[in-house]
Structure 1
Amino acid sequence: MYYYHDHTSDSSSSSSEDEQAIVLRRQKIYRPRTQYLTEYDDVEFFDRFRLTKPTVLALLQQIVAELDSPTNRGGKITLLDQLLLALRFYASGNMLIGVADFIGVSRSSASKIVQKVSRVMASLRPQYIKFYETEAEMDIAAQEFHAIASFPRTIGAIDGTLIRINSPGGVDAEIYRCRKSYFSLNVQTVSDANLKIKDIVARWPVLSLKRQFENGRYGRFLLIGHSGYTLEPYLMTKVHATRTPAENLYNESIIRTRNVVERQYGVWKRRFPILSTGMKVKLRTVM
C-alpha cells in the first residue's frame, strides 16, 4: 500500500500556527485618551458631561484627596477621567459599556469608578444640600415663596419621585416594588423657591426634617406638599372639596407655590437622564 505524506500541508499548518502565536503575543497598542477639556468647546463639553468646565475642575479639587488612580489595561486612569466617566454615566442614561468605551477603560473598571466617585461626591452633600440655619435665611426664603402666589410663611415645597432600579432580589425585594409595579427608590426632596434642593432623603423620607419641625426648630415657618401628605401644623396641603371662595383661593395659591418642587425634579432629571431611565446596577451601588 502506498502512503502519501503531504510535507507541504504540514509545513503550511505549522507556519499558520506560528503566525497565530505571534499575533497572540503581540503587544497591544492603546490609543491615547482624549483630552476632553481641550478637545471640546464649552457647549460640547456641557452636552456630554452636564456640568461646565469650571464646575468640573472645582469639583475635582474637592474630591481629589479621596480618589486614587487605578491601573487599567491602558495604563493609569487620571482623576479627571474618573470624574468625567461618572458624570458621563449620569448624563448618558445608564450604559456602563458605553461610558467605558467613551473614556477608554474596561467595563469592570468603569463600574468600580462610578461606585467610588459617586460615593465620594455624595459625601459632599452636607456642604451643598442643607436646610436653613438662621432666622434671616428663613425670612428671605419665605419672601421668595410669597412672591410666587402670596402663600405665607413657606420655606420649602416637599415632594417625592420614584427612581427605577433593578430588582434587588432576596426576601425583601418586594419592599422596593412601587405602585406602578416596578422596583424603585422613593427619593424625597424639599425645594426652595429657586428650584434649589434644600433637603434630600433616599432611605427614610422626611424623618429627620419632620422631627426638627415638630421640635420647633423652624418656629412659625411652614412646608407645603401635595394632598398625599398628612396635614400637620407645619405642613400645609390643599383643601379637599372646597366650599368657599377663600378655600378656592387658598388651593390656587398653594398649588402654584408648590409647583416649584415639580419643576425642580424636571430640571434635575433633564440634567441627568439616568434619574429618568433608571439605574441598572446593584442596589448597594444605587444607595
Structure 2
Amino acid sequence: MSSSESDIEILYTMSDWSESDSDSDENTAPRQYKERVDYTTTLNSVEFQMRFRLDKASVEHLLVEIMPHLRVKGTRNHGVSPLHQLLLALRFYALGTMLLSVGDFIGVSKASACRIVRDVSSAIALLYTKYIFMKSNTEDGFYRIARFPRVQGAIDCTHVRIQSPCAEVGEEFRNRKGYPSINVQAVCDSELMLMNVVARWPGSAHDATIFNMSELKVQLETGMYGNKWLLGDSAYPLKPYLLTPLLNPESRGEQLYNESLIRSRNCIERTFGVWKRRFPVVALTMRLSLQNAHAVIIATAVLHNICRLQNLGEVPPEVELPRIDPVPVPINNEGGIQLHREMLIANYFNNL
C-alpha cells in the first residue's frame, strides 16, 4: 500500500478521539441555546475570509463536496447544520486555539466541537487525491525561477508540533529540537501548490527515511516522471531523480548549480510558510490525538491547494505565530550516484 493510500485508509478507520481531545458532556450544566448566526450573510467578504480563510464561494463549493461524509442531524433540536460544522472546523484551523473556545463560536460543547472537527477534517482529507497530485507540466515554472532544467518538484519536510503522546511512544515523536512533532514530507511546484503530502511519521524520523519509505520514491525509481528531477536539501540522498547541493562547490559551474538549485528549491520553504500562516493550527501546538492531528494536517493541505486554485490572497493570521526555528538538517552521507549531477554541471551549468 502506498504512503498516500495508507494515509487515506487511516481516515476511513479512525477511532474515537482520545480523552485529551475532548471532555465528556456528562455532569455539565444545561446549555442555553440561541439562534445560530448565519455568517455567510452577516459578514462581508473581507471579514468572512479573515475569519474562515476561504471566501464564501469556496466554502459553498467545499460544503457540497464534503456533505456526503458528514453526520447530518435535524436542526430542530439544536443540531448543528453542515454549514456550521464546516465553519467551526475552519475557525479552528484559523485560530489553532482550544476547542472549547471554538465551540463557543457556534454554541456547542467542547466534546461536540471535537466531534465536528474530527468529522469535517476527515471529510476534507478524503479529497486528497482530487486536489493533491503530481503534475506533469512543472518544468517551465521552475526554469523561470533560476534556469534549472527538468524539475518535477521541490521536496522537504516540516515539523508540526503536537502535545506529547503517551509515555510508551512519546520519545519517538521528539525531534532534534527536543519537542514532540509529526514530521511532514511534502513536494510542491513553482506555484506553491502541494503535489504530495505524507503526514504519518514521528518527529524523530529523518527526512531521508521518510522519503525512502514513500510511494513517491517507488514512482521515481520506476520512471513514472520520466527524466525529471526532484530538488532536495542535503538531508536527502543523491539519486538520478533527486538532486541535492554540492557541499563544497569549487568551479563556476558548480557554484551556478548550487545557486540555481537553492533558489528553485526555496519554493517548498515558501509553501510551508504560506500554509502555516493561513492555517495557524499547523504552526501552533496541536492538542489532538495522533490520528486526528494527522487528519487536520491533510485537511489543511487540501484547503491550501483550494486557496491557491482560487487565487485567494494571503490572509494575515489572527493569532501570534511562534518563530519557526528550523530543525537541524543532518547531512546525508550516502554516496549516491554522482554521475547525473556531474553531467548536468558539465553539460549545462558550465555553459551558462
- TM-score calculated relative to the size of structure 1: 0.85
Q: Deviations over 1:175-213 (max 9, x none)?
A: 111111111000011000100001100125331100110
Matches within 5 A, 1:155-174: 155-174=152-171
Q: Among 195, 198, 220, which residue is 2:192 paired with?
A: 195
SS in structure 2 opposite 1:227? Answer: coil
Q: Name the residue aligned to 1:117.
A: 120
Give, in whole Å, the separation in 2 of the partners of 1:103 and 1:28.
Answer: 12
Question: Which protein has the bigger helix share?
Answer: 1
**Count of residue pairs the alignment pairs up:** 255
Quickly say closer, same or farther: Cα 1:255–1:115, change in 2 above 3 A. Answer: same
Quickly say closer, same or farther: Cα 1:226–1:172, change in 2 above 3 A. Answer: same
Matched residue type, 1:124? L
SS in structure 2 opposite 1:76? Answer: coil
CA contact (8 A) 1:30 1:74 kept: no
Structure number with higher relative contact order (C-alpha < 8 Å, ≥ 6 residues apart):
2
**1:34 offset after TM fit, Å?**
0.7
Q: Name the residue aligned to 1:146.
A: 143
* Structure with bigger gyration radius: 1
Given the alignment of the two structures, is residue 185 of structure 1 paired with residue 175 of structure 2, yes or no?
A: no
Q: Where do 4+ consecutive residues of structure 1 move more than 4 Å? A: 70-74
Q: Deviations over 1:207-266 (max 9, x none)?
A: 110011011111101000111111111000111111111111111100110011100011
Q: Name the residue aligned to 1:222.
A: 229
SS in structure 1 opposite 2:200? Answer: coil
Q: What is the root-mean-square deviation of aligned Cα atoms in Å?
A: 1.7
Q: Among 30, 33, 40, which residue is 1:30 paired with?
A: 33
Give, in whole Å, the separation in 1 of the partners of 2:282 and 2:32.
Answer: 37
Matches within 5 A, 1:267-286: 267-286=274-293
Given the alignment of the two structures, is residue 76 of structure 1 paired with residue 64 of structure 2, yes or no?
A: no
SS in structure 2 opposite 1:198? Answer: strand
Q: Name the residue aligned to 1:16.
A: none
CA contact (8 A) 2:174 2:180 kept: yes
Give, in whole Å, the separation in 1 of the partners of 2:42 and 2:101.
Answer: 19
Quickly say closer, same or farther: Cα 1:253–1:222, change in 2 above 3 A. Answer: same
Q: Deviations over 1:120-150 (max 9, x none)?
A: 1101100000113xxxx3xx31111111101
Give, in whole Å, the separation in 2 of the partners of 1:182 and 1:96.
Answer: 22
Q: Name the residue aligned to 1:253.
A: 260
**1:40 offset after TM fit, Å?**
0.3
- TM-score calculated relative to the size of structure 2: 0.70
Give, in whole Å, the separation in 2 of the partners of 1:256 and 1:87.
Answer: 33
Give, in whole Å, the separation in 2 of the partners of 1:86 and 1:70.
Answer: 17
Q: Name the residue aligned to 1:96.
A: 99
CA contact (8 A) 1:166 1:283 kept: no
Give, in whole Å, the separation in 2 of the partners of 1:88 and 1:29.
Answer: 22
